[in-house]
Amino acid sequence: MRILIADDDPVSRRVLEGALVRLGYEVTACANGAEALEKLLAPDGPRLAILDWMMPSVDGLDVCRKIRASDAPYIYVIILTARDRREDVLAAYDAEADDFLTKPFDLLELRARLRSGERVLALQERLLLIQEALRHEATRDPLTGLWNRRMILDQLHREFHRASRDGHTLAVTVADLDHFKEINDRHGHAAGDAVLQAAADRLRSVLRSYDFIGRYGGEEFLIILPACEAGLALSIAERARRALSAAPLEVNGALLSITASLGVACSSTHDTDPAALVHAADQALYRAKAGGRDRIEIQTMA
């Protein structure tokens, strides 16, 4: 593990660096607090730090306070100092240091405290992974990996208000896979799942980097197209339609065709609301279904 040390005394710094190297650490040594702060807050900065309290300009406690006030990943900080009064220890902890070690340090004690710091960092890393997994589970459709219904509708509200504020046109597309029930009935739900996953991948591949897509219902997808006029929205919808039907999907030896009907709605004056915009796209979708499927209809709102 990488560790940063900061001490303005070159002799103390070399002694500490030598001890840490013998313990197997990769050491970054700094002669002052300002340099230490810069390296710790770098994107790939060390996550363990031993800071001398008394340094010119920016001392060890100042470095600790600035780290805690930043949005950097958690850094485990040990304050190393000749001070050993009770009030000094309390001052270090008030600055949100994690541990306190007095000079001259004992090598065994130093190793024990560093191992404690490593355990804290490892635990935090596991907690962050769990948090990210829970966030993903709460916001993503587990089958397709797209935004789930709640999140795509939340995003629609955000984009709607942004478009209203900036005076941009907002378009939405509702895509519904054609004859999906027949696929489930004839080939089973596993085949239906494979079709949904393939459809999600194909739709995602033709969108712009700032468009949004989510699974809106069983075989329905909602696509949000920010800053998109009617003509461009139709062009993107056509790319999506073609991508879906470009090639059959092979599932368990069977070739399954994928087509979709798409309804597009655009709003330019925003004298409406997100629900009305989606409703308009739904109405266009119904016309596409009634018109023979594998086609696009558009409804432009006033």
Q: Do residues 180 and 195 make contact, with C-beta atoms less than 8 angstroms apart?
A: yes
> Can you tell me which residue has the tokens 């799942």?
193
Q: Pairing state of beta strands 99-102 and 48-52?
A: unpaired
> Can you tell me which residue has the tokens 């949005």?
71
> Can you tell me which residue has the tokens 């990943």?
73
In angstroms, rounded to a whole number, what is the distance separating the alpha carbons of residues 243 and 256? 14
The one-character DSSP state at 73 is P
Backbone φ and ψ for 78, nearest 5 degrees, come out as -110, 125
Q: How far is CA 85 from CA 55, 78, 94, 95, 232, in A?
A: 19, 16, 14, 16, 71
Give the count of beta carbons closer than 10 Å to the beta carbon of residue 82.
12
Residue 56 makes CB contacts below 8 A (sequence gap 6+) with 8, 32, 33
> Can you tell me which residue has the tokens 């991948």?
201
Long-range contacts (CB closer than 8 Å, 24 or more residues apart) made by 68-72: 68/96, 70/41, 72/40, 72/41, 72/45
> Can you tell me which residue has the tokens 């368990």?
252
Select from 237, 235, 250, 162 the least CA-distant residue to 198: 250
How far, rounded to the nearest angstrom, does the alpha carbon of residue 83 sit from its chain's CA centroid? 43
Known catalytic residues are 219
